[in-house]
Structure 1
Amino acid sequence: MKKSRRVDFWQDPAAPKPTSRKASASVFVRDDVGRVLLLRRTDNDLWTIPTGGVKMGETVAGAGVRECEEETGLVVQVTGLVGIFSTPEHVIAYMHGDKVDEVRQPINICLRARVVGGSMAPDPAEAQEVRWVAPDDLARYDIHPAIRLRIGRGLEDGAEPYLD
């Protein structure tokens, strides 16, 4: 059986057309020295911030907290809003083998959060690795442009929430 994977497209006129939209929550988390929490995804090998779909009966903040704990082992408390990211320039194809199961245009609500518990332990189904990264070192990581935008906005302390 072939493994499921995702392919992210950015500003690509040849990207497949979206077949769905779904809300997701991500959390931008910094530690006491300003490093950013990143994880390396298992389905596309890219570095990202904790992110996942909002489930039925769940709030956006609840989804962000749940996803962070599931993916990294860390429990966070939401402290604010980085922004809402819904550009049609970002499309995600979910694949099973060579077959496209779904093509999603995401609506992401990115939240600011701080660690309040847990211990760093990646879920091997979702994250190959979890680490704290200094902002000056982010350029060395393979991060999708849509996630770089969220991280960049998160690094702008005191900025108004981003809306697109």
Structure 2
Amino acid sequence: MSRRTDYFNDPAAPKANSIVPAVTAFVVNDEGAVLMEQRSDNGRWGMPGGVQEVGEDIAGTVVREVLEETGIHVEVVGLVGIFTDPGHVIAFADGEVRQEFSLCFRAQPIGGKIKVSSESFAVRWISKTELDSLNISPTTRRRLDEGFRNAEVPVIS
């Protein structure tokens, strides 16, 4: 199943050979549940997201990735934070080892219907209380905590 391996402050982690602008979307519905997907590349639960493509602005990346991965149309309404921890590296099966560079955006759902994509095993709205029972990476957990904290000023780390 795993086409990627995440390392968190692991001295045995391979050295990063790339940094790629990526986004995640903190999408909360009217009931306070967050949009999550169980990723097909590592089996963990995460927020929808992905890498920016040439020719699109970063808000467009958020909208496209959420729609592609979950079937939900969103509108970007703010920034949760910028996460660039050099202790988090992601090794891909093709040899790329990426240092984390993720912009986490706050978005609101404006339509669509949940669907599973090739990038996920499951997509669900998950209550804040249910999050602790899921397999979630430490960096995703931090983004979720910051999103629910709803600070006026985005976190930069």
> Normalising to structure 2: TM-score of the pair?
0.96
Query: Quick one: which amino acid aligns to residue 76 of structure 1?
Result: V
- The answer to which structure has the higher strand fraction is 1
- Judge conservation of contact 2:2–2:43 (CA < 8 Å) in 1: no
Structure 1 residue 155: Cα displacement: 0.5
Query: Quick one: which amino acid aligns to residue 129 of structure 1?
Result: A
Q: For residue 33 of structure 2, what is the aligned residue in structure 1?
A: 35
Q: For residue 132 of structure 1, what is the aligned residue in structure 2?
A: 125
The alignment yields a C-alpha RMSD, in angstroms, of: 1.2
How far apart, in 1, do the equivalents of 2:89 and 2:100 lie?
A: 7
Q: For residue 65 of structure 2, what is the aligned residue in structure 1?
A: 67
Structure 1 residue 4: Cα displacement: 6.8
Among 80, 83, 98, which residue is 2:81 paired with?
Answer: 83
Q: How does 1:8-23 map to 2 (within 5 A)?
A: 8-23=6-21
Give CA deviations for 1:101-127 in whole Å, capped at 9, x if unaligned: 21000210100000111110111x101
How far apart, in 2, do the equivalents of 1:4 and 1:15 lie?
A: 16
How far apart, in 2, do the equivalents of 1:24 and 1:157 lie?
A: 21
Q: Which runs of 4+ in 1 moved over 4 A?
A: none
How far apart, in 2, do the equivalents of 1:151 and 1:14 lie?
A: 27
How far apart, in 2, do the equivalents of 1:117 and 1:106 lie?
A: 30
- SS of the residue 2:143 aligns to: helix
Q: For residue 120 of structure 1, what is the aligned residue in structure 2?
A: 114
How far apart, in 1, do the equivalents of 2:110 and 2:100 lie?
A: 28
- SS of the residue 2:101 aligns to: strand
Gaps of 5+ in 2: none
Q: Percent identity?
A: 43
Give CA deviations for 1:13-34 in whole Å, capped at 9, x if unaligned: 1111001000001110001011
- SS of the residue 1:101 aligns to: coil
| Aligned pairs, number | 157
Give CA deviations for 1:28-49 in whole Å, capped at 9, x if unaligned: 0001011111000001000000
How far apart, in 1, do the equivalents of 2:127 and 2:152 lie?
A: 20
- SS of the residue 2:21 aligns to: strand
